[in-house]
Amino acid sequence: MKRTLILSILLLCTTLAQAQIQITREDRERAEALVEQMTLEEKCALITGQDDGFHTAAIERLGIPSVRMADGPQGVRNKTHSTYYPCGISLAASFNRSIAHGVGTGIGWDASARGVRIMLCPGVNIYRSPLCGRNFEYYGEDPYLASETAVQYIRGIQEQRVIATIKHFALNNQEFDRHGTGSVADERTINEIYFPTFRKAVEQARVGAVMTSYNPVNGVHAPENQWLLNQLRGWGYDGIVMTDWTSSYTTLGCLTSSLDLEMPQGYVLNYEAVSELVKNGTVEESLVDEKCCRILQTFAAYGLLDLPMKNESIPENNPESRAKAYEAALEGPVLLKNDGILPIKASKKNNIVVLGPNADIIPYGGGSGRMDPIEGTTTTLWQGIASLGKGYKASFMDWKNIDEAAIRKASAVIVSVGFNHDTEKEGADRTYSLPAGQNELISKVASLNPNVLVVANSGGEFDVTPWIGNVKGLLMAWYAGQESGRALAAIISGAVSPSGRLPFTFWGTEDKNPAAKYYHAVVPAVKKRSKNRDPYPNAEYKEGIFLGYRGVERFGIEPMYPFGYGLTYSGFEYSGGSLEVLPYGYCVKFTVKNTGKTAASEVAQVYVSKDKSAVARPSRELKGYEKLSLAPGESKEVSILLTTGSFARYSTPQHNWVVDKGSYKVIVGSSSADTKIELPVEL
Ligand code: BGC
């Protein structure tokens, strides 16, 4: 039995590894042979962005094509209209690896159909504060959830021979003054919280490109930070390291670090600057050669030196991509409160009012993550509700001009609020409160009708305290892309049970978040500093490893809704619970039963906890999860594998991960605050 299990795991790993593109010795040799024939001027062209800033250089005499890139992460951006998928936080909230893989696959199809061979996604910076303007692009506060999501998303993209670019390496956790504020964290925090997603993307998804961050990391700008990039190479990374757009400062720094490609153009790695340093003997030309080799060996591995850039067999407006976008949009929304308002079943009595600033738009977060959907393919929330048809009499109301007589008479009111591309975006942090007028709108509607559902678009937590006690339901919808209206209507009507879970801790007030005190502590220094950004003030990550739910016990703070939490239209029962010892870890087994009358999905979560640790550790950490779709009354046995690495912590003196001997607990639950089964382990 044990042997069969081990064999099937090994087989699965081999199959997965085979499916992934790897740089081979032949690719390396081919790259070296090409570089040998290149002039220094050609080499400098290859290591810098060209044309519109979203292309690499073509060196036609050597048959090296220009490679086109485009932003993600919600679809293919830059000079095209394309399928618009749910944002990163929504994918993480799905707690479903195959959803992340499906969206990656769809993006891979869409990119290759357009001749785009480098996608500038996923963005995986950890959610440190709800204020970060780009949280919506990222995967939440937990490194395990973020890694699992990223690995699948990257595999999906790269299986289509499109290079994924994981970004922004590293510690780019705020948008406020992102070019000018340094991030400062200790080695353990960096390794336990901020590195794991990048590392797993390298080790398990063989990601083809990495984009550095704008911010200095512990004093040195990311693209020139030798320590930082050497960590990455130390994980066996042999792909392309590119800068974020306009974040390079010195020619020498960029030449001597392990950076390969300066984007969007050669501000510092241009021929004039580089050749001067080569000619006067400051650097060897071989530094430039190595960068070119890494770029070309990656291109060779993906077939970009041989095969056509465009996959003509895939249509640009692809129904299969839309299907992936819809599946993902169904699984992201998280139901946080439901005092009996949902689902709204078909009934002759239904007289639903839909209103709010986001009710009849496709809301999206702003910046480079914004993209243009294909005309005629989107469904807004209002359109989704309106198309439910029989048994769903619904009307749309202008939220700036509400009809009190009509709200009072409604059987239910759906208020669609939240942020959008102006209020939650790249390049700036956002407010903790909803945008102006929205709290007032919800409170007003709630004073007129007891049956209010708030549907909110955001990349993270926001202030719900002004009205949460007066509404019957709160559904976190994130930015769910072109199919959001269809998917939300299916959830609201009960055709599908909500199945998303919070990928971050919803504290309820701004100050409870362990990082809150430190997050914007840098603001006064930024305001005082001189125009040339000298000196760089530092954002210090003083909460360390005790970020998000890891800080609950440490600081004795109770969240409003814990990490991993989310309601469904059913209930679940956990039973059994055993640990099978394997040569390299444990297999945790238990059974989950759907005890309700509705088909629904449970996200069974496995946390590891160390009893009495000499070194401070979080009271529990997520190390496994499985989303189970269960028919009413159905039971499923779940097996979750924990490796010995699942029990490890980072040791700063040893500069490595260590597994301490002693007693641990494996906790199975439906959120970070829930314990259904507890199993002791002695290591
Ligand atoms: C963003 C990147 C993006 C790049 C290209 C930058 O401002 O930080 O995430 O990929 O622009 O659009």
pLDDT digits (tens, 9 = 90+) for 143-184: 999 999 999 999 999 999 999 999 999 999 999 999 999 999
Residue 2's pLDDT band, with cuts at 50, 70 and 90, is: low
Give yes or no for residue 3 having a pLDDT over 60: no
Instruction: Output phi, psi for 680, to 5 deg.
Output: -75, 145
The sheet with strand 352-355 has its strands ordered as 334-338, 473-476, 452-457, 412-418, 352-355, 394-397
Distance in angstroms (rounded) separating the CA atoms of residues 243 and 222: 8
Determine whether the shortest distance from the Cβ of 244 to ligand 1 is under 6 A. yes
Give yes or no for residue 676 having a pLDDT over 60: yes
pLDDT digits (tens, 9 = 90+) for 492-543: 999 999 999 999 999 999 999 999 999 999 999 998 887 777 778 999 999 9
Q: What is the mean pLDDT of residues 388-415?
A: 97
Which of ligand 1's atoms lies nearest the C-alpha of 78?
12
Q: What distance in angstroms lies between residue 360's CA and the mean position of ligand 1's atoms?
A: 28
pLDDT digits (tens, 9 = 90+) for 74-86: 999 999 999 999 9
Q: What distance in angstroms lies between residue 368's CA and the mean position of ligand 1's atoms?
A: 6
DSSP 522: T
* Domains in the chain: ranges and CATH: 572-682 (2.60.40.10)
For residue 244, what are the contacts with CB-CB under 8 A and spacing of at least 6? 167, 168, 211, 212, 213, 214, 222, 223, 263
pLDDT digits (tens, 9 = 90+) for 174-213: 999 999 999 999 999 999 999 999 999 999 999 999 999 9
Q: What is the mean pLDDT of residues 641-654?
A: 97
Determine whether the shortest distance from the Cβ of 247 to ligand 1 is under 6 A. no
Question: Which amino acid, 533?
Answer: R
Residue 111 CA, distance from chain mean position = 19
Determine whether the shortest distance from the Cβ of 71 to ligand 1 is under 6 A. yes
422 is catalytic: no
Q: What is the structure's pLDDT at 536?
A: 86
- Name the residue with the closest Cα to ligand 1, atom 6: 245
DSSP 317: S
Two structure tokens written together for 366: 């702003």
Which of ligand 1's atoms lies nearest the C-alpha of 264?
5
Residue 286's pLDDT band, with cuts at 50, 70 and 90, is: very high
Pick from 188, 265, 242: nearest CA to 546: 188
Determine whether the shortest distance from the Cβ of 432 to ligand 1 is under 6 A. no
Distance in angstroms (rounded) separating the CA atoms of residues 141 and 661: 27
Q: What is the mean pLDDT of residues 278-285?
A: 98
Give yes or no for residue 17 having a pLDDT over 50: no
Q: What is the mean pLDDT of residues 273-280?
A: 98
Residue 16 CA, distance from chain mean position = 22
The sheet with strand 635-643 has its strands ordered as 572-582, 585-594, 635-643
Distance in angstroms (rounded) separating the CA atoms of residues 37 and 32: 9
pLDDT digits (tens, 9 = 90+) for 26-72: 999 999 999 999 999 999 999 999 999 999 999 999 999 999 999 99
Candidates 244, 260, 360, 429; catalytic one: 244
Q: What is the mean pLDDT of residues 475-485?
A: 98
Q: What distance in angstroms lies between residue 55's CA and the mean position of ligand 1's atoms?
A: 14
Q: Cβ of 402: how many Cβ atoms within 10 Å? A: 17
Listing DSSP states for 391-430 in one string gives T--EEEE-TTS--HHHHTT-SEEEEEEE--TTTSBTTS--
In the chain, % of residues over pLDDT 70: 97
Q: Cβ of 682: how many Cβ atoms within 10 Å? A: 8
Pick from 232, 231, 236, 227: nearest CA to 256: 227
DSSP 372: B
Q: What distance in angstroms lies between residue 120's CA and the mean position of ligand 1's atoms?
A: 8
Instruction: Output phi, psi for 100, to 5 deg.
Output: -60, -40
Q: What is the structure's pLDDT at 503?
A: 99
Give yes or no for residue 559 having a pLDDT over 50: yes
3-state secondary structure of 167: strand
Burial of 527 (0-12, 13-18, 19+ CB in 10 A): exposed
Pick from 292, 257, 251: nearest CA to 269: 251
Pocket test for ligand 1, best of 77, 368, 425 (most atoms within 8 A of CB): 368
Contact (CB, 8 A) for 55 and 120? no
Q: What is the mean pLDDT of residues 343-364?
A: 98
Give yes or no for residue 13 having a pLDDT over 50: no
Mean pLDDT in the chain?
Answer: 96
Distance in angstroms (rounded) separating the CA atoms of residues 55 and 615: 48
Q: What is the structure's pLDDT at 530?
A: 79
Q: What distance in angstroms lies between residue 173's CA and the mean position of ligand 1's atoms?
A: 14
Residue 16's pLDDT band, with cuts at 50, 70 and 90, is: very low
- Could you give the C-alpha distances from 484 to 81, 211, 322, in angstroms and in order? 17, 29, 11
Question: Which amino acid, 454?
Answer: V
Pick from 119, 85, 120, 82: nearest CA to 99: 85
Give yes or no for residue 315 having a pLDDT over 80: yes
Number of helices (H), then strands (E), belonging to the chain: the values are: 20, 24
Rg (CA), the chain: 25
Q: What is the mean pLDDT of residues 434-458?
A: 98
- Name the residue with the closest Cα to ligand 1, atom 4: 245
Which of ligand 1's atoms lies nearest the C-alpha of 168?
9
Give yes or no for residue 391 having a pLDDT over 50: yes
Question: Which amino acid, 221?
Answer: H
Which of ligand 1's atoms lies nearest the C-alpha of 178?
8
Residue 9's pLDDT band, with cuts at 50, 70 and 90, is: low
Residue 7's pLDDT band, with cuts at 50, 70 and 90, is: low
Distance in angstroms (rounded) separating the CA atoms of residues 444 and 566: 27
Distance in angstroms (rounded) separating the CA atoms of residues 558 and 554: 11
- Could you give the C-alpha distances from 50 to 46, 67, 115, in angstroms and in order? 9, 10, 16
